[in-house]
Amino acid sequence: MARESALYGPTQSRFARCLERREARRPDPVARSLRRRALEGLRGQVLEIGCGDGRSFEHYPASVTRVRGVEPDPIARSAAVERARVAPVPIEIVDGDAGALPAETASVDAVVSMGVLCSVEDPARALAELRRVLVPGGELRFWEHVRSANRAFRLVQRAGDALFWTRSLGGCRTTRDTEGAIRAAGFRFERLERGFHSSSLLTVTSAPYVLGVARLAP
Ligand SMILES: C[S@@+](CC[C@H](N)C(=O)[O-])C[C@H]1O[C@@H](n2cnc3c(N)ncnc32)[C@H](O)[C@@H]1O
């Protein structure tokens, strides 16, 4: 798949480059702790969609036996391969799309999505794929930015998306009801935290997030 996102590819927008440089200069400790919490207690075989440059890899607990990271962007994938080399658990990186996952049906114990359901074209289709590859009773770990519960803030999100956000950041939308989409896909929330965090004012419209564990019925 040759598609490149505006987040990592050579066609990356100035805004995306600015966010990346900022993150490289000053890694966000709160984001690191949210990633760690999203992954804690995980075990078995895991598939992570849109793993990006692999910044979640360092947080996988030793109880995870293997991770398959699926990432369509070639530049992010190369960075992920480098991070996978020094990860605490075995990780393989493959090209692929969340809407048609390169994995057998009922083949993994858990799936992970961090900041991806905001970017995929069709979240319902991606969630159906996540269901397909999970074993019965398998779990979805997620940390996703979502539309705000506050009406005025939602207007700001919508305006930001329309003016620059979505076009600058590979189709990302800050106004998605990902909590509702996860529920509608047939997952049951086992842990659900709703919070607000952004690493800078530049990304404040993506601050409302949901983090947690959702499970398929056994
Ligand atoms: C905001 S980045 C998040 C990266 C990583 N999950 C993280 O937490 O740092 C969104 C990622 O989703 C990926 N992505 C976009 N559309 C996708 C799709 N249809 N299938 C899989 N990944 C996709 C992008 O290439 C990018 O790496």
State residue 5's pLDDT score.
67
Within a domain: 48: yes
Within a domain: 30: yes
157 lines ligand 1 (CB under 6 A): no
Within a domain: 158: yes
Number of structural domains (the chain) is: 1
Within a domain: 192: yes
Q: Has residue 76 got a pLDDT over 90?
A: yes
Q: What is the 115 CA–ligand 1 centroid distance (Å)?
A: 7
State residue 20's pLDDT score.
86
Give the confidence band of 7 by pLDDT, cuts at 50, 70, 90: confident
Q: What is the 76 CA–ligand 1 centroid distance (Å)?
A: 9
Counting from 1 in the atom list of ligand 1, the atom nearest the Cα of 113 is: 6
Q: Has residue 73 got a pLDDT over 50?
A: yes
The single-letter code of the amino acid at 53 is D
pLDDT in tens, 181-218: 999 999 999 999 999 999 999 999 999 999 999 999 77
Give the range among 10-14, 53-57, 158-162, 164-168 with minimum mean pLDDT. 10-14
Within a domain: 208: yes
34 lines ligand 1 (CB under 6 A): no
Give the confidence band of 4 by pLDDT, cuts at 50, 70, 90: low
Question: CA distances (Å), 202 to each of 18, 107, 165, in order?
Answer: 10, 39, 10
Counting from 1 in the atom list of ligand 1, the atom nearest the Cα of 55 is: 9
Q: Supply the range of the domain harboring residue 160.
A: 14-215
In sequence order, the 6+-apart residues with CB closer than 8 A to the CB of 189 are 182, 183, 212, 213, 214
* Residue 93 or residue 23, greater confidence: 93
pLDDT average, residue stretch 146-166: 97
Q: Which two tokens stand for residue 68?
A: 């398959």
CATH of the domain at 23: 3.40.50.150
The CA distance from 98 to 96, in Å, is 7
Q: What is the 153 CA–ligand 1 centroid distance (Å)?
A: 24
Within a domain: 25: yes
The backbone torsions φ and ψ at residue 112, rounded to the nearest 5 degrees and listed phi first, read: -125, 135
Q: Has residue 146 got a pLDDT over 90?
A: yes
Give the confidence band of 1 by pLDDT, cuts at 50, 70, 90: very low
Give the confidence band of 22 by pLDDT, cuts at 50, 70, 90: confident
State residue 2's pLDDT score.
44
Within a domain: 8: no
Q: Of 5, 49, 116, which is best to mutate to test ligand 1, by the most ligand atoms within 8 angstroms of its C-beta?
A: 116
Within a domain: 151: yes
